[in-house]
Structure 1
Amino acid sequence: MKTIYRILLSILFSVPLMFLAAEDPPPYQTASEDLKAELWSAFSDKVLQPENQKNLTFDLFTPELDEAFLTPDGTTAVLWLALRDEYGQRLATEPGLVIAVLNDNRWEVLLPDDPAWEKTITTLPAGLVPLEQSPSPEDIETSADIKAPVTGYYLPYAAGTSRWLEGSISHFQSIPELGYPSCKVPDDCRYAYDFTDAWHFPLLAAKEGRVVASRDSCTDGNPYCTNYIVLQEPDTQLYQIYIHLANNTIPDKLTNGTLVKRGQYLGDTDDTGYSTSQHVHFMVTNSIWLGGDGYYWGRSIDIRFVDVAINNGIPRTCYEVTHFPIYDGATECLGDKTDPRNPANDWFPSGNVGAYPPTGSLSVPAAGATVTVGSTQIMDVRANASDDVRVTAVSLVAKLDGQWNEIGPKISQTIPPGVYDWDVNLCEAGVAVNGALEVALRVWDHEGNVSTALTPRTIQVDHSCPPPSSQLNPVQDFDSTAALLSWQAVDAGAGLSTFEIQWRTNPGTWQTNNTLIIPGAQRSAWFSGQGGTSYAFRLRAVDENGQVEAWPTGDNAETSVTFPSICTTDSSEPDNTSGQAKLINLGNIAQRNLCPAGDNDWFQITVQEGKYYQFNALSLNGGAAVNLTILADDGTTILTSAQAPGLGLNLHHLYKAENNGVVFFKFTPLVTTLFGTQATYSVRVEEVIPIFLPMIVK
């Protein structure tokens, strides 16, 4: 970067431009820390006097000393005041200004509304008073044919990024006890905007223009020296002024006369010059002049931003629209007006698309390549990327559900320059694929521009995630021919589709048709077998991509069970025919077990025509589950039937009586092999009044 003043020859433009040597020493000195403390004490005493207290606005802002400078004779000091809000955030803007005069070894502070202010400030050495606090030159030419508001501007930072608007009309509001206004002539900065962020950020041209003058030789944070760039818009006397830039960040190619496109990089923000914290002071003027420590100023004009959705393109802070007069009809802000200094307020998103976005190309993986073959889930990626300023990061993107998504890390290291080489674990990146996948390159540049998906291609992925894993727990057995199997499983990234539980008699051989298919969300299942027989079990998981876990090694079983061959009947036996059916009253509970094998448990109940009855058979133990059959009073004619949805599950059935009188009902085992002393269930019948909701068909 060049560290010289860039000043376009005045013969090219109608505004005379002045020269200032870069090495001229400032006409003042910074106050010592001890003197700053003395000056601050004098200021505090001043603003706490009764006549000043009525105007204090310290409810939201607390002043603090930013800088203090002395005249060469040491008799006058200029104090820069920074403000800190109720959230502890220091305002990034031009400081408030107060003057202290030494009389009889005592510092007397002057505020901007004091009678002696104007006389005192005009006697200060040139350069000690910022341009913002200086009167406009009398002989400045302005263009009378400019029709404001002027449109077509974009926020001076990259599309897709947001910056905090610190202030606009705040520049010329009179708050004397805080040293404001920071801009002496209201028209000079009525349409000026201060944008900031937590740290330096890149600036982009808000509109096309040619470089008139620039400087980036001032060291960062230097209060004596202001970095800036000025663009003149083609065929007009309109000037875009960007102030407080960082050291050595204006591109060397932006020499005087260079045409700059809208969205082209201009440099980074900083805190150089008359500023309390890093920000950019941006405005468009119809005149410019040189002054202060050697930077440009002018009279701002009304402009409108295309990408500001409120106030017809006028940015405002929530504090400004709630505490200051309304200008140009701008009544809205981005945020909560009831909490105007909330840090979530006033973030303005830009639509300023970069004039020179970054570019690049993928070289690996090649189109059509097959990746993650075998046991590896790592995919090698190689790319080239470039930018007119510099590339800050690259990443692989994949099209998922029709959208390009970043997968894997952002890479900033190059080996060699411009070449990026890294690995992506597709599974860890959440890309659980088996088959075709469209990938591309995404590039970020220093300005904040983000490329489109560059050089897309389709590759083949051979199971991006490893197979799932599972393990059966020891079987939970009962005095029943049903056992409860449970297991643990690890989803390796692709999701669990199903489990396959294979069983065999013990001893015996594994057979494909002896397989239970269980949904991937389950972690337990009942199994029923022949009484007096031993069974062995093994388990494997299948992921959502159809990838199957291997069976346990060596054909081994993971758990086993031996079912009882005999059982003890319940006390209600015999109840195996309609003639032996037990009477049950509505609401009463009866308990039974499924014993012996093929057991039938009969009941009878009195019902009334047209009424509804809920039949419930709840599984209590041993995997009990039943079939229900309801029969007419002849004990033969079947009226309705139902069954439990599975072993160990409950049965519920709603029945509407067709006649008055007795109906019979019986329960049988859900599966023919199920019996056992502990295969118990409960029975209850209740009269109910069902509620049928109407069906709405669109």
Structure 2
Amino acid sequence: MTKSIKFGIIVLILLSATLIAITLINPPPTQGSNDFSEGTESPTDPSDPVSTNPDLISAVESALKDASGHWKIFNYQIEHTQIQDDGQMAIVWLSAEDPETGELMAREPELTLAIADEHGSWDVLLEDNPKFIEAFSKFQYAEKSVQGDLLHISEAKAQSNKVFGGYYLPWAEGLEKRLTWSVGHSSCTPVYYCTHAFDFADGTMFPIMAAKGGTVFRWRDSCPNNTPSCTNSITLQDKSTTPWTYQIYLHIANNSIPNHLKQVGTPVTQGQFIANVDNTGYSTGHHVHFMVVTEDTRYFSQGMQSVWGVAEDITFRDVSINWDEATQGGRPRLAYEAATYGGVGKTYYVSGNKPAKAPTGGLTAPSAETYVTNRNLSVSGWGQQNVGVVKLEILANYNGAWVQIGSEQTQNPFTTTVDLCKTSIPNGHFQVALRVWDNKGNPSGILTPRTLIKNIECSTTDTNPSVSLVKTDGLLFLPENGHVVANVAKGSMGRAIASVEFWFHGRDWENGTWVYLGKDISETGGWTIPINTTGMADGDDYAILALVTDAGGKTGVDVVFDAIVDGTSPWISINHLQSPFTKNSATITWTGGDQLSGLKHYSLSVRVNGGAEQVLVSNLPPTTTSYTYDKLAPKQLLLFSLTAVDRAGNSTVERTALYTPGYEFEYGYHLPLFFMSE
């Protein structure tokens, strides 16, 4: 995946410390008191300039381009950089872009360290590089930026290797939030400290409910909202476990902890409101970072305000995937994390955390995978809440944010029509969902999001260009390593075609997302884009979408929902002839087929007495089941090769042999039957 790096200038930098610190609190800094992790503070000082070193930026771009593993999953933007006084080392903060929306992921930045050589060139170490920690320990401000674990890595503690259960997702029952990080967490140092931490977001400052009962152990909500230099948090102590555990909730909003909970030892029941989400501290957007640590690894961050430690393996009773029988709970994972660490991946999660009573509901129309060509979209849905539903909103997501489309609905259930030409939804794929509001002013989360494809002509005088995906025999085959091709036609104004973009969607429409394959801006060689389906299961339910844009910004769409991935070769069964064969002609008969894309043709060749291969026929129809060879003569050994080719380009070769009277085998062997290999 190509890395798209964008340098963002941030003017919050510390005179006496460094931008790399990631602390959770903001009292006056002291030597060696910060920890380089999500539990640390970001040093700030407006007088300290942010680096604009173009060579450094270029080096980071190059390192990301050549990186492997999780670095290939996302595009990154550079949040800010800090170079030490002698110019020999620098730290860079990276923010990942959401592959679905292109927006910055609501979670924590990732880090990279750059070291200048004698020629002033930068050697970049990503934070999963084994040399990262050792190199960073030599950074000028390291001892002011970390606590213990980085400078004394040999003393870093391990998790207990236990699984703790009984938790619920930390928001109200029935609401849906997005997982932005779990086992792939790489924003902590050491990285494994956050292996079992979870980041959840929905773009809002949603209420946090206690995932499990406990007592208030530490809290802070005095940091201003959105500040990167100070992190609000609340920690609950749970003495029902052995060893004792601590639930840590990070990045919460200013003054959002209820006053009656601002007392150490105050009991908190599971499902009780404890704070609101924000993005205070080391964060790229509103989200809650939730993790559980034990008494054995717990320690205090700077100023004794925040708690940190090694995240323990926990399960949620309202998560059905990656199930643990002993605790009767599951573990949230993203799809790319599951692919790396095992298990099952999923993006959105609905909480079962009671006693909060959030409204619920959903769309009953349109269905997912709907190809919308009529400007008037019929939408129906329902809402439910025991205190009463006051209104329902139809939402659309086409640029990374959910916005209302159509009018608010007060009937429940409802059916209405949305004029898509009166919305800002562009042609292409987008999502629709529902939000329900109750009589107490509580909104639901994003309910029943589903993917649609829009291809609507809203003008009668300036019509859109059109695009059509090129098929073979009426079918679109996705090669293991090849190209998808499209034809285009200009709109009524005859403007030049600017580009054709392509997207791919897998078979899982509930959890999967559109994958951007790329953009072709030149008609040279046709409008085309590379695709690779290596490792994908055979099937005829993949989707390809093409979007054409002309020089005036007008667009057109084509989509195929039944594109075929076929990596399986066809089958052939030849009826072998008995030798020695005494007739003047031989009829080779066979059966064959292909279970997915279907046969395209057969070809047949022969080798006589070990000579060169002779093509007898190269394009036999797939319904053909026999071929007569009438050039038999005495003293011949013939090897026939039958090739079957399916419409996806896969092929299979089967062979049969015979010999005629008088043929003498080498070394005097005479065999009446043959093995079917050369």
The TM-score bracket by the shorter chain reads 0.3 to 0.5
TM-score with structure 2 setting the length: 0.43
TM-score with structure 1 setting the length: 0.42
